[in-house]
Amino acid sequence: MEQTIQAFITFLKRKGYRITEQRIAVLKEILSTEGHFEAKDLCERFEDRSDVSRATVYRTLQLLLESGLIRETVSDEKHPHYEKTVEGFHGHLICLNCGRIIEFPESGVMNLQREISERYGFELKFGKFEIFGICRDCRKG
């Protein structure tokens, strides 16, 4: 966790943004979250803290996106979902019926992305591995 916080602080300094207790609190809350999360859920976790407004949460999410510490992920809903990028590479199985997202570890695809990027002189920043289909529950129902 500390390494990720330091990376965010370094990013903020490099970009000339203020390092605030509120921004760090938002990041810590994200780091304690399992799996995907939504901005609205994050805002609800700070309802009892008057020093962390909805605007602070949304602005911090944008900074975290810009820093590469989180990324937007697939959703069938109109609002974005996010995930941490510091958990290691994983893929998504996405149900086209119910929208369920199942995460699975997948280092082989990441290695393939690196290999292809190197072959073409491309600087890899991040990659996605998403498989769309119908989940077991929807197929049964």
Q: Give the residue-averaged pLDDT of 59-88.
A: 82
Which residue ranges make up each domain of the chain? 2-84, 90-140
pLDDT for 127 beyond 80: no
39 and 30 in contact (C-beta within 8 Å)? no
Q: Does pLDDT of 1 surpass 80? A: no
More confident residue, 19 or 34: 19
Q: Is residue 65 helix, strand or coil? A: helix
Pick the CATH number of 2-84 from 3.40.50.720, 2.30.30.790, 1.10.10.10, 3.40.50.300: 1.10.10.10
According to DSSP, the β-strands at 90-95 and 130-133 are parallel
pLDDT over threshold 90, residue 43: yes
Secondary structure class of 92 (helix, strand, coil)? strand
Residue 125 has pLDDT above 90, yes or no: no
Residue type, 13: K
Query: Between 1.10.10.10, 3.30.365.10, 3.30.1490.190, 3.30.565.10, what CATH number should domain 90-140 receive?
Result: 3.30.1490.190
